[in-house]
Amino acid sequence: MVDDFEVETIYDNRIYERNQFSFSLDGKEYKGDYLEGEIHWLNPHPKQDLDEEQLLWVESEVFRLLDDNKVDPVDEELDEFEVTPMFNQQVHKALQFKLLIDGEEYKGLLRQGKLEWFHPKPRRKVNNAKVEKIEKQVQQKIKSHLDETN
């Protein structure tokens, strides 16, 4: 169990501003920086004490706790979001979307309520937890787009 989780913004209003977190696990203190959706561990790194499966659990728990503490830079990263209809005159309707994540363009479509990414898929370059949050935002933005057009 992760205990005594704390997070604070360091280097406020500077180009290298980031969130730094700390917690204890089984009596050991760990620290890290959270920047652009990724965890950067400070020494000691938990991988020195944990196996890979445990480390993945700890990182997912850190992401959850960061989210609980409203630390989420993903909100500002959906730049240049566009939605266009596909298959207009056909039975199968879908919406194509295009967006920028960390300056890279990604495309996909929403068909029957499911999101499908075109190649390249963001999971190849972006953290899974961050992609999941972006997918939720894409769903919300498409829903807002549909509400506006209907």
Domains of the chain: which residue ranges? Answer: 2-71, 75-149
pTM across the whole model? 0.51
Length of the chain: 150
Identify which of 16, 17, 19 has the alpha carbon closest to the alpha carbon of residue 8: 19
Phi, psi of 70 (to 5 degrees): 60, 30
Model confidence pLDDT, tens digit, residues 71-112: 865 454 566 788 888 766 665 678 899 988 777 889 999 888
Q: How many CA atoms lie within 13 A of 5 on its CB side?
A: 15
Residue 72 confidence (pLDDT): 62
Could you say which residues of the chain have pLDDT below 70? 72-79, 87-92, 150
Distances (CA, A) of 129 to 1, 60, 91, 141: 20, 8, 34, 19
Residue 64 confidence (pLDDT): 85
Residue 76 confidence (pLDDT): 47
